[in-house]
Structure 1
Amino acid sequence: MNWQDAALMMAGFIGSGVAVIHGSLTQRLMIRPLTKSVLADELTLVKKLVPSLLQFSTFNWFLGGLALIASALWFEQDVRLATSLLVGSSYLYVALVNLWATRGRHPGWMLYTVALGLIAFGVNGSGG
Protein backbone atom coordinates (compact mmCIF):
# COMPACT_ATOMS: atom_id res chain seq x y z
CA MET A 1 0.00 0.00 0.00
CA ASN A 2 1.34 3.40 -0.98
CA TRP A 3 0.62 6.87 0.42
CA GLN A 4 -2.10 7.57 -2.13
CA ASP A 5 -3.96 4.41 -1.16
CA ALA A 6 -3.63 5.32 2.51
CA ALA A 7 -4.99 8.81 1.78
CA LEU A 8 -8.05 7.40 0.00
CA MET A 9 -8.67 5.00 2.87
CA MET A 10 -8.35 7.79 5.43
CA ALA A 11 -10.79 9.94 3.44
CA GLY A 12 -13.17 6.99 3.45
CA PHE A 13 -12.83 6.53 7.20
CA ILE A 14 -13.44 10.25 7.79
CA GLY A 15 -16.48 10.27 5.50
CA SER A 16 -18.05 7.15 6.96
CA GLY A 17 -17.21 8.13 10.53
CA VAL A 18 -18.73 11.57 10.19
CA ALA A 19 -21.79 9.97 8.57
CA VAL A 20 -22.31 7.64 11.54
CA ILE A 21 -22.04 10.53 14.00
CA HIS A 22 -24.28 12.70 11.82
CA GLY A 23 -26.88 9.96 11.57
CA SER A 24 -27.05 9.31 15.28
CA LEU A 25 -27.24 13.02 16.16
CA THR A 26 -29.85 13.64 13.47
CA GLN A 27 -31.92 10.76 14.80
CA ARG A 28 -31.67 11.89 18.41
CA LEU A 29 -31.90 15.66 18.02
CA MET A 30 -34.19 16.10 15.02
CA ILE A 31 -36.15 13.01 14.08
CA ARG A 32 -37.26 11.82 17.52
CA PRO A 33 -38.59 15.24 18.58
CA LEU A 34 -40.32 15.64 15.22
CA THR A 35 -42.09 12.31 15.42
CA LYS A 36 -43.23 13.07 18.97
CA SER A 37 -44.67 16.48 18.14
CA VAL A 38 -48.39 17.10 18.00
CA LEU A 39 -48.14 18.36 14.44
CA ALA A 40 -46.40 15.19 13.27
CA ASP A 41 -49.19 13.09 14.78
CA GLU A 42 -51.60 14.81 12.44
CA LEU A 43 -49.36 14.65 9.39
CA THR A 44 -48.49 11.04 8.63
CA LEU A 45 -46.55 12.03 5.51
CA VAL A 46 -44.20 14.16 7.61
CA LYS A 47 -43.56 11.25 9.96
CA LYS A 48 -42.68 9.00 7.04
CA LEU A 49 -40.88 11.28 4.63
CA VAL A 50 -38.83 13.70 6.73
CA PRO A 51 -36.77 11.09 8.62
CA SER A 52 -35.88 9.38 5.35
CA LEU A 53 -34.84 12.64 3.74
CA LEU A 54 -32.80 13.69 6.76
CA GLN A 55 -30.95 10.38 6.81
CA PHE A 56 -30.41 10.20 3.03
CA SER A 57 -27.28 12.33 3.26
CA THR A 58 -25.98 10.12 6.06
CA PHE A 59 -26.51 7.05 3.90
CA ASN A 60 -24.81 8.71 0.92
CA TRP A 61 -21.75 9.83 2.88
CA PHE A 62 -21.38 6.45 4.58
CA LEU A 63 -21.49 4.51 1.31
CA GLY A 64 -19.17 7.05 -0.28
CA GLY A 65 -16.64 6.43 2.47
CA LEU A 66 -16.91 2.67 1.95
CA ALA A 67 -16.44 3.18 -1.80
CA LEU A 68 -13.25 5.17 -1.19
CA ILE A 69 -11.88 2.45 1.08
CA ALA A 70 -12.75 -0.21 -1.50
CA SER A 71 -11.17 1.83 -4.27
CA ALA A 72 -7.91 2.08 -2.34
CA LEU A 73 -7.84 -1.66 -1.73
CA TRP A 74 -9.11 -3.22 -4.95
CA PHE A 75 -9.85 -0.84 -7.82
CA GLU A 76 -7.71 0.18 -10.77
CA GLN A 77 -6.71 3.79 -11.42
CA ASP A 78 -9.62 4.68 -13.72
CA VAL A 79 -12.20 3.31 -11.28
CA ARG A 80 -10.46 5.13 -8.42
CA LEU A 81 -10.72 8.36 -10.36
CA ALA A 82 -14.44 7.87 -11.09
CA THR A 83 -15.15 6.88 -7.48
CA SER A 84 -13.17 9.84 -6.17
CA LEU A 85 -14.99 12.27 -8.46
CA LEU A 86 -18.43 10.99 -7.45
CA VAL A 87 -17.71 10.83 -3.73
CA GLY A 88 -15.65 14.01 -3.83
CA SER A 89 -18.49 15.96 -5.43
CA SER A 90 -20.81 14.87 -2.63
CA TYR A 91 -18.25 15.79 0.02
CA LEU A 92 -17.55 19.14 -1.67
CA TYR A 93 -21.24 19.98 -1.70
CA VAL A 94 -21.70 19.16 1.98
CA ALA A 95 -18.55 21.06 2.95
CA LEU A 96 -19.63 24.23 1.12
CA VAL A 97 -23.26 24.14 2.24
CA ASN A 98 -22.26 23.37 5.82
CA LEU A 99 -19.73 26.23 5.84
CA TRP A 100 -22.30 28.63 4.40
CA ALA A 101 -25.26 27.53 6.51
CA THR A 102 -23.44 27.49 9.85
CA ARG A 103 -21.05 30.37 9.07
CA GLY A 104 -18.17 28.07 9.92
CA ARG A 105 -19.38 27.10 13.39
CA HIS A 106 -19.77 23.40 12.64
CA PRO A 107 -16.96 20.81 12.40
CA GLY A 108 -18.58 19.00 9.48
CA TRP A 109 -17.26 21.34 6.81
CA MET A 110 -13.73 21.05 8.19
CA LEU A 111 -13.79 17.26 8.28
CA TYR A 112 -15.14 16.95 4.76
CA THR A 113 -12.59 19.50 3.53
CA VAL A 114 -9.84 17.34 5.01
CA ALA A 115 -11.40 14.31 3.31
CA LEU A 116 -11.43 16.24 0.00
CA GLY A 117 -7.74 17.02 0.36
CA LEU A 118 -7.01 13.37 1.02
CA ILE A 119 -9.09 12.34 -1.99
CA ALA A 120 -7.20 14.79 -4.20
CA PHE A 121 -3.88 13.44 -2.94
CA GLY A 122 -5.01 9.84 -3.15
CA VAL A 123 -6.28 9.97 -6.71
CA ASN A 124 -3.20 11.81 -7.92
CA GLY A 125 -0.84 9.10 -9.03
CA SER A 126 -2.26 6.13 -7.15
CA GLY A 127 -1.62 3.05 -9.11
CA GLY A 128 -2.13 0.20 -6.70
Structure 2
Amino acid sequence: MNWQDTALVLAGIIGSTVAVIHGVLVQRYMVRPVGAFLQAEKRAAASTRRLVPLLLHFSTVSWFVGGLALIAAAGWFGAEARLATSLIVGGLYLYGALGNLWGTRGRHPGWMLYSVALILIAFGAIR
Protein backbone atom coordinates (compact mmCIF):
# COMPACT_ATOMS: atom_id res chain seq x y z
CA MET A 1 0.00 0.00 0.00
CA ASN A 2 1.50 3.34 -1.07
CA TRP A 3 0.85 6.86 0.27
CA GLN A 4 -1.96 7.55 -2.19
CA ASP A 5 -3.80 4.41 -1.13
CA THR A 6 -3.35 5.31 2.52
CA ALA A 7 -4.70 8.82 1.85
CA LEU A 8 -7.86 7.43 0.23
CA VAL A 9 -8.39 4.93 3.05
CA LEU A 10 -8.00 7.70 5.65
CA ALA A 11 -10.43 9.93 3.72
CA GLY A 12 -12.91 7.06 3.61
CA ILE A 13 -12.57 6.40 7.33
CA ILE A 14 -13.04 10.09 8.15
CA GLY A 15 -16.06 10.36 5.85
CA SER A 16 -17.78 7.22 7.10
CA THR A 17 -17.13 8.05 10.75
CA VAL A 18 -18.47 11.58 10.38
CA ALA A 19 -21.50 10.15 8.56
CA VAL A 20 -22.31 7.77 11.41
CA ILE A 21 -22.03 10.54 14.00
CA HIS A 22 -24.11 12.79 11.74
CA GLY A 23 -26.78 10.09 11.47
CA VAL A 24 -27.05 9.67 15.23
CA LEU A 25 -27.33 13.42 15.79
CA VAL A 26 -29.84 13.91 12.97
CA GLN A 27 -31.98 11.10 14.37
CA ARG A 28 -31.89 12.54 17.88
CA TYR A 29 -32.27 16.25 17.16
CA MET A 30 -34.21 16.37 13.90
CA VAL A 31 -36.01 13.16 12.97
CA ARG A 32 -37.60 12.51 16.37
CA PRO A 33 -38.85 16.09 16.97
CA VAL A 34 -40.11 16.52 13.40
CA GLY A 35 -41.72 13.09 13.53
CA ALA A 36 -43.48 13.94 16.78
CA PHE A 37 -44.71 17.21 15.27
CA LEU A 38 -45.98 15.48 12.14
CA GLN A 39 -47.66 12.80 14.22
CA ALA A 40 -49.47 15.45 16.25
CA GLU A 41 -50.35 17.39 13.11
CA LYS A 42 -53.44 15.62 11.84
CA ARG A 43 -53.20 17.21 8.39
CA ALA A 44 -49.81 15.64 7.63
CA ALA A 45 -50.13 12.77 5.19
CA ALA A 46 -48.77 9.35 6.07
CA SER A 47 -46.44 9.54 3.08
CA THR A 48 -44.96 12.76 4.48
CA ARG A 49 -44.35 11.11 7.84
CA ARG A 50 -42.54 8.26 6.07
CA LEU A 51 -40.49 10.46 3.74
CA VAL A 52 -39.15 13.01 6.22
CA PRO A 53 -36.73 10.64 8.03
CA LEU A 54 -35.47 9.27 4.71
CA LEU A 55 -34.80 12.73 3.34
CA LEU A 56 -33.10 13.90 6.52
CA HIS A 57 -30.78 10.87 6.43
CA PHE A 58 -30.03 11.05 2.69
CA SER A 59 -26.76 12.94 3.18
CA THR A 60 -25.76 10.55 5.98
CA VAL A 61 -26.16 7.53 3.72
CA SER A 62 -24.41 9.25 0.80
CA TRP A 63 -21.40 10.23 2.91
CA PHE A 64 -21.16 6.77 4.50
CA VAL A 65 -21.32 4.90 1.19
CA GLY A 66 -18.88 7.41 -0.29
CA GLY A 67 -16.41 6.59 2.48
CA LEU A 68 -16.73 2.89 1.77
CA ALA A 69 -16.22 3.57 -1.94
CA LEU A 70 -12.99 5.45 -1.20
CA ILE A 71 -11.71 2.55 0.86
CA ALA A 72 -12.60 0.14 -1.95
CA ALA A 73 -10.97 2.43 -4.52
CA ALA A 74 -7.70 2.35 -2.60
CA GLY A 75 -7.56 -1.42 -2.63
CA TRP A 76 -9.28 -2.72 -5.71
CA PHE A 77 -10.06 -0.09 -8.34
CA GLY A 78 -8.01 0.74 -11.40
CA ALA A 79 -6.67 4.24 -12.06
CA GLU A 80 -9.70 5.50 -14.00
CA ALA A 81 -12.27 4.10 -11.56
CA ARG A 82 -10.22 5.43 -8.68
CA LEU A 83 -10.24 8.93 -10.21
CA ALA A 84 -13.98 8.77 -10.95
CA THR A 85 -14.75 7.60 -7.41
CA SER A 86 -12.57 10.34 -5.97
CA LEU A 87 -14.33 13.01 -8.04
CA ILE A 88 -17.83 11.82 -7.15
CA VAL A 89 -17.17 11.34 -3.45
CA GLY A 90 -15.10 14.52 -3.36
CA GLY A 91 -18.09 16.39 -4.75
CA LEU A 92 -20.33 14.99 -2.01
CA TYR A 93 -17.82 15.87 0.69
CA LEU A 94 -17.26 19.35 -0.77
CA TYR A 95 -21.01 20.00 -0.63
CA GLY A 96 -21.08 18.82 3.00
CA ALA A 97 -18.06 20.92 3.96
CA LEU A 98 -19.39 24.09 2.35
CA GLY A 99 -22.90 23.51 3.70
CA ASN A 100 -21.61 23.05 7.23
CA LEU A 101 -19.28 26.04 6.97
CA TRP A 102 -22.02 28.32 5.63
CA GLY A 103 -24.89 27.00 7.74
CA THR A 104 -23.08 27.11 11.07
CA ARG A 105 -20.78 30.06 10.31
CA GLY A 106 -17.78 27.85 11.01
CA ARG A 107 -18.89 26.59 14.43
CA HIS A 108 -19.22 22.97 13.35
CA PRO A 109 -16.44 20.36 13.18
CA GLY A 110 -18.00 18.70 10.14
CA TRP A 111 -16.64 21.22 7.64
CA MET A 112 -13.14 20.82 9.04
CA LEU A 113 -13.24 17.04 8.92
CA TYR A 114 -14.62 16.95 5.39
CA SER A 115 -11.99 19.51 4.33
CA VAL A 116 -9.27 17.19 5.64
CA ALA A 117 -10.93 14.31 3.78
CA LEU A 118 -10.98 16.42 0.59
CA ILE A 119 -7.25 17.13 0.86
CA LEU A 120 -6.61 13.40 1.32
CA ILE A 121 -8.85 12.57 -1.64
CA ALA A 122 -6.98 15.06 -3.84
CA PHE A 123 -3.66 13.53 -2.80
CA GLY A 124 -4.87 9.96 -3.18
CA ALA A 125 -6.71 10.31 -6.48
CA ILE A 126 -3.60 10.64 -8.58
CA ARG A 127 -1.04 7.85 -8.90
For normalisation by structure 1, the TM-score amounts to: 0.92
Q: Which residue of 1 aligns with 2:15?
A: 15
**Residue in 1 aligned with 2:88?**
86
Q: Percent identity?
A: 65
RMSD, matched Cα: 1.0
Unaligned runs of 5+ in 1: none
| Displacement of 1:46 | 3.3
Given residue 11 of structure 2, which amino acid in structure 1 is its aligned partner?
Answer: A
Shift of 1:22: 0.3
Report the equivalent of 1:59. 61
Letter paired with 2:9: M
Q: CA deviation at 1:50?
A: 1.2
Letter of the aligned partner of 1:19 in structure 2? Answer: A
Deviation (angstroms), 1:47: 1.6
2:7 aligned partner, one-letter code: A
Asked whether the 8 Å contact 1:12–1:115 carries over to 2, the reply is yes
Q: Which runs of 5+ in 2 are unaligned?
A: none
How far, CA to CA, are the matches of 2:48 and 2:13 in structure 1?
Answer: 32
Deviant stretches of 4+, over 3 Å? none
Amino acid at match of 2:20: V
**Paired residues of 1:40 and 1:46 also in contact (CA < 8 A):** no
